[in-house]
Amino acid sequence: MKSAEANQSDALIELYTRLNRFVIERGFRAHSCPAFVGCYDEDLDTVCCFNASHTPGLVWHSSGVSELASTGLPLGLFSHSTPDAGMIALEPGAVLLLVSRSVVVAETRGEEYGLGRVGEALNHTHLASARDLCTVVLEDVRGFARGPQREAITAFALIRKRFVE
């Protein structure tokens, strides 16, 4: 959908409402289901998103790394909750990085990997592809944790091109 055809914030809140209802109805009881949902507008180079108690997203810009913190409750807990949908503009070369909670809580000798290390990896890694960035982060977590993790570790990255072709 083109941005002129729909209000992305309203559409994301409607999506949250439908997903929340689905989780509640199918779960037969309350479930905490954190989620990060975003919509990238290629014409405006913006991301409209909500963070339903998921691990904060990280955005790298030329001025540094910022967090996309939680904007609402997890899906599946309350039938009438709604998050705030935010919007962020991505400058040329900007990066949006999302990691699962299992990345942040991966530990060795009682120390967690933490979101700070994810941010450091993002700040010190200037790779050409989103896939390469995710690989670097996930390999760093595996090296830090030195062993199998109880949960799957995942990462997702979106990199805005520096130059228009």
Q: Is 97 a member of any domain?
A: yes
What's residue 4's pLDDT?
45
Q: Is 164 a member of any domain?
A: no
Q: Is 100 a member of any domain?
A: yes
Domain membership of residue 21 as a residue range? 8-159
Instruction: Give the CATH number, domain containing residue 129.
Output: 3.60.40.10
164 pLDDT band (50/70/90 cuts)? low
Tell me how crowded residue 37 is: count the other CB atoms within 10 A of its CB. 17
Q: Is 147 a member of any domain?
A: yes
Give the total number of structural domains in the chain. 1
Q: Is 3 a member of any domain?
A: no
Q: Which of 34, 76, 78 is nearest to 56 (CA)?
A: 34
pLDDT in tens, 89-122: 999 989 999 999 999 999 888 899 999 999 988 8
